[in-house]
Structure 1
């Protein structure tokens, strides 16, 4: 069955159905880059431009729906990031990153969407400006290879082209030329039609975690022991996954440490102590090169990175397992837990969720 963000695509209906579409109205944009007007006008123009592209017409119906949803959502968080600076310039720095979070929430909580489609839309929103500014990035090769692990570059270029055509500006042709350069750059980096192929999983991990590393470099594999690192919101079924797939494997759990020591989850000092205790327990296994599971929510990339850096410093191999179920099932599972988490806390955590990326660990698996 074909997924669609909505079957009624008239703008009036979109504004009535989705508050985040209605919010686009009257959000100002830079008159230099967007002389057409506010975000609502721009988004409508982008949707029209997208559907007029020959490359869009050649997509199958499902991919057309994915691209249409990404175009609708691409500037959704200009509403929260747009400011007028002291010199009068209108900017919306960070709108693409924040837009990824919003797209993920909308397509998980409000509009049930298959995981792969949802993450494709979220990635398109996150990187929609990349083809226009790739060569101005500090490390363009690494950025484009990272993006290629999440989505198809021709689709990203298509969205950027619609974004450039769906506006009124003096530098439109320059924007279109930049997209052609982006295509050439991706072809040069061997990631235009598929993700860059790395020699080994370890080679991919080292490239994204070490400065000045080459994607063709093959590091010597001297890793010992494996850490099964779980990631997922509370109540998603991480404990059940471990019991079913890794019976008998030692498990370090922050929740278990808190409960054993009767610590309150909302007490920062208690949480700090629990984290330190968990770290000391992990070091015992790491020094011996023995496998264990690290069971915590780990919903942000920054937090996961801190722990992965620790594990790797002891030459451990890290398998990162992300676990997710549908929104309805998640709420039911949480309410039936021995220690349920308040719904308002779940909503707050969902707003911060960053689904693990393929390059974060030696292996990344998605159980959805």
Structure 2
């Protein structure tokens, strides 16, 4: 599948504003003596195509890598500034770029979920091969990345990223990337996700600051299960409940709003609604009773707050992410009794963070 059929740079600039925006975005002359982001990105794409390992990949993997290379610095346009000492920096451009990549691939190109998320996470982690050993816990950083992205493709993107620039320390950086490959092989996550013995083992490993070995299998002392639904409004969360767990107690902040006749746009009531919902959850948690938390939960911060609460009562947390193609999503939302305005949906889509396997005991993706 070709996400972008015509890969000529001038055509890309004319067709897509986010490509044109790369022109003139400055970079550090120490690390990028080649010039602006547009120049660097073109050099990265050329370097990628020249790699024998890239040429040997299946067509779909090549498309994933090429698209990730095109997008890897897309948000330097919004994050670049000059420090008082004259240094040019772009903090957070990979994280923000991942959000932009997800939005573009879903809304503009209709890319399938699995392929899209590989590209998104290549953008998100493209700097990891250079910096993994500088992380507070290199092993944990590597194993978490391996759950979300193919480390072999990440290695190739990092190679192209370094080859597609002019800098004095290029050889040193390429050596660091080779070390990343060796570290992946040593940690048994080269070109595959690290395999934990169970969802519980995986969750405990990433949740605890001073983790035991990733091979450790903890005792399962969970007392109940909480299904946390995740997805934009109109994606089908209520339908999921009706089909799979309609007899479970349900905690739904929107239902609390409706019960008390609070308007969705009344943000002053958000705190009160959240507290009411959490108290309903605590009633179920104290009783050791399975239940469903029905809300959008589209950011990791939202989900982490809920997971912290539920786990503190001994619950097992299962995240269920639901997504439909844009056309059917818009139709489903329009058919709802209380349809969410298009402008609100657009804003939420741009903030969407798909749940990751490290966030809970289990994560299920229902996309299609």
Please give the alpha-carbon distance, in whole angstroms, between the structure 2 residues aligned to 1:243 and 1:114: 26
Structure 1, gaps ≥5 residues long: none
Structure 1 residues 215-271: Cα deviation after superposition (integer angstroms, max 9, x where no partner)? 122111011111111000111110111111112111111110000101122223311
Please give the alpha-carbon distance, in whole angstroms, between the structure 2 residues aligned to 1:201 and 1:292: 19
Where does residue 343 of structure 2 map in the other structure? 344
Please give the alpha-carbon distance, in whole angstroms, between the structure 1 residues aligned to 2:33 and 2:345: 41
1:101 correspondence with 2:99: yes
Please give the alpha-carbon distance, in whole angstroms, between the structure 2 residues aligned to 1:272 and 1:340: 23
Question: What is the SS of the residue equivalent to 1:227?
Answer: strand
Please give the alpha-carbon distance, in whole angstroms, between the structure 1 residues aligned to 2:351 and 2:4: 25
Question: What is the SS of the residue equivalent to 1:365?
Answer: strand
Where does residue 235 of structure 2 map in the other structure? 236
Where does residue 74 of structure 1 map in the other structure? 72
CA contact (8 A) 1:144 1:186 kept: yes
Structure 1 residues 1-29: Cα deviation after superposition (integer angstroms, max 9, x where no partner)? xx222111111100011110000000011
CA contact (8 A) 1:4 1:66 kept: no
Please give the alpha-carbon distance, in whole angstroms, between the structure 2 residues aligned to 1:302 and 1:308: 10
Please give the alpha-carbon distance, in whole angstroms, between the structure 2 residues aligned to 1:327 and 1:99: 21
Cα drift, residue 176 of structure 1:
0.2
1:256 correspondence with 2:258: no
Question: What is the SS of the residue equivalent to 2:357?
Answer: coil
Where does residue 193 of structure 1 map in the other structure? 191
Cα drift, residue 197 of structure 1:
1.4
Return the match for 1:176 from 154, 174, 178: 174
Question: What is the SS of the residue equivalent to 2:298?
Answer: coil
Which is worse superposed, 244-253 or 75-84? 244-253
1:324 correspondence with 2:334: no
CA contact (8 A) 2:142 2:184 kept: yes
Cα drift, residue 212 of structure 1:
1.3
Cα drift, residue 92 of structure 1:
0.5
CA contact (8 A) 2:226 2:315 kept: yes
Please give the alpha-carbon distance, in whole angstroms, between the structure 2 residues aligned to 1:281 and 1:300: 22
Cα drift, residue 45 of structure 1:
0.4
Structure 2, gaps ≥5 residues long: none
1:21 correspondence with 2:19: yes
Where does residue 366 of structure 1 map in the other structure? 365
CA contact (8 A) 2:153 2:191 kept: no
Structure 1 residues 50-91: Cα deviation after superposition (integer angstroms, max 9, x where no partner)? 000010011011111111000000000000000011111100
Where does residue 297 of structure 1 map in the other structure? 296
Structure 1 residues 24-57: Cα deviation after superposition (integer angstroms, max 9, x where no partner)? 0000110010111110010000000000001001
Cα drift, residue 336 of structure 1:
1.3
- TM norm structure 1: 0.98
Please give the alpha-carbon distance, in whole angstroms, between the structure 1 residues aligned to 2:44 and 2:100: 19
Where does residue 278 of structure 2 map in the other structure? 279
1:53 correspondence with 2:46: no
Where does residue 353 of structure 1 map in the other structure? 352
Q: CA RMSD in A?
A: 0.8
Question: What is the SS of the residue equivalent to 1:32?
Answer: coil
